[in-house]
Amino acid sequence: MRISYKFRMHEGSKQHRLNLIVTMAGRIRNHCLAFQKTYYRLFKKHCHKFALMKHIAKIRKRRKEWQIVGSQCVNALIVKLDLSYQAFFKWIKTRKGPERGTPKFKKSAGNGSVTFNQAGWAYSSGNRIRFGKNWYKFIKSREIEGTIKTCTLKRDSRGKFWVTFSCVKEDVVSQIAGSTNTAGFYFGIKTFLHCSDGTTIESPEFFKTSLPEVSKGNRELASKEKGSNNRLKAKLRLSRLHQRIADRRQDWLFKLAHPLCDRYDRMYLETLNIDSMKRLRGREVSDLAPYLFLQTLKWVACKRGKHVGQLERWEPTTKTCNQCGHVQEMSFTLQVFECGGCHRSINRDLNAALNIKSLGHQRDGLGDISLDLNQAILV
C-alpha cells in the first residue's frame, strides 16, 4: 500500500533557493499550458506529452534560470498536466462523473509544488534532506515507514515549505475476514455523521465560528493599496488565519477517525456528489469537509488493517425502509421517515445509515443483516 508522510521544513537562509525552484517550476508549467493552448488553436489537436518534453528540453538549454528545476521534475509537471487534459477529454466523451475543465494558469509566486523522483534530492535518515547541492532540515514528527518512492516539495500560501514522502509498504494483515463489528455512516448538513448504532457526531464548524475574523481580514486586505507592503502583510495575515482553520479541522478529523477505527472493523459510507452539494450550500459543505474526512478515515484504516467501503452514488438509501424494503419518494425537508408499507417511523438519517450498513454487508458477501426494531431509535 502507498502512504504519504508530510513534514514542515525548517526556516533558514537557504530557503531562497527553494523559492526559486518552486517559482520556476510554476513558470514552466504555465509555459507548457500556453504551448498546449496555442498548439490546439493552430492544429486543432492536443500535443503529445513526449513531444512537449522535447520542446521544453530545447528551451531549458537556452534559459539558464529554468535549469534550477531538474529534468525529471519538469517531465513530472508535463505528465501531471497531460493527465488533467486526458481527464477533461474523457469527461467530454462520456459526460459521466463530476464535471471536468481544462487546466488553468496559476501564479508562479503563490502556492506551488515540485515532485522529485530519483534525481535531484537525497535522504537517508534523520531530519536532513538534500535538494540540489544544499542540505535542509525538516521537523520529523514521526518515523517514516516503508520504501520512499517520490519526494514532493510544496510551498503554501504563507510562504512556508513542506516536504512529502510517498512511501510503499507491505499491506497490514487484516484480521476482519469474518468480523461483524460493522457500521454504516450517513453524512448530513445539520449533523455531520449519523451512525447505524444510533450515535450522532456534530461538526465544530471551524470556519463558521471564525467567520468574523475572516471577514475582518478580508476588509483589511481590500482597504490596502495594490502592490504595497501593507497589502502583502494583510494577505499573509489572512493566509495564516485560513491555514489555522484548516489545521484545526484536519486535527479534529484525525481525532475522529482514530476512535472510529478502534470501535469498528468495517465502515461503510455513501458516495457523495460533492460538486453538486457545493452548488447548493457551498460554504457549509466546505466547512464540513466530507471528502477530507473520507480520505483521512481511509488513511487511518489502511494503517490499522481496517476496511472502509463506499456504496454506489445512486443507491436510494434515504428512500428505502430498512425494515420492510419499501421504496417511496421523500422530501429533503422531512426529518422523519414514515414508511408507507409497514407504517414505521424512524429518523431519516438513521434509516439511511442502517441501509448503508446493510448494503455494504451484501456487497462484500457477508450476508443480509436482519435488524431488530428494538436496536433502532424510533421517533
Domain boundaries, the chain: 2-168, 173-379
Q: What was the pLDDT predicted at 212?
A: 95
Long-range Cβ contacts of 336-344 (<8 Å, 24+ apart): 336/379, 344/373, 344/378
307-310 and 266-269 strand pairing: parallel
Share of the chain above pLDDT 70, in %: 93
| Among the listed residues 350, 322, 326, the one whose alpha carbon sits nearest the alpha carbon of residue 336 | 350
Confidence of residue 96 (pLDDT cuts 50, 70, 90): confident
Q: What was the pLDDT predicted at 180?
A: 66
Q: What is the pLDDT of residues 193-204, one digit of tens each?
A: 999 888 899 989
For 293, phi and psi rounded to 5 degrees? -65, -40
266-269 and 182-187 strand pairing: parallel
Q: What is the pLDDT of residues 100-134, one digit of tens each?
A: 888 999 988 888 999 999 888 999 888 999 998 88
112-116 and 147-155 strand pairing: antiparallel
Q: What was the pLDDT predicted at 177?
A: 60
Q: Which amino acid is at 68?
A: I
Which has the higher per-residue pLDDT, 173 or 264?
264
For the question of whether the overall pTM of this predicted structure is more than 0.75, the answer is yes
The rounded Cα 311 to chain-centroid distance in angstroms is 19
Q: What was the pLDDT predicted at 367?
A: 63
Give the count of beta carbons closer than 10 Å to the beta carbon of residue 105. 11
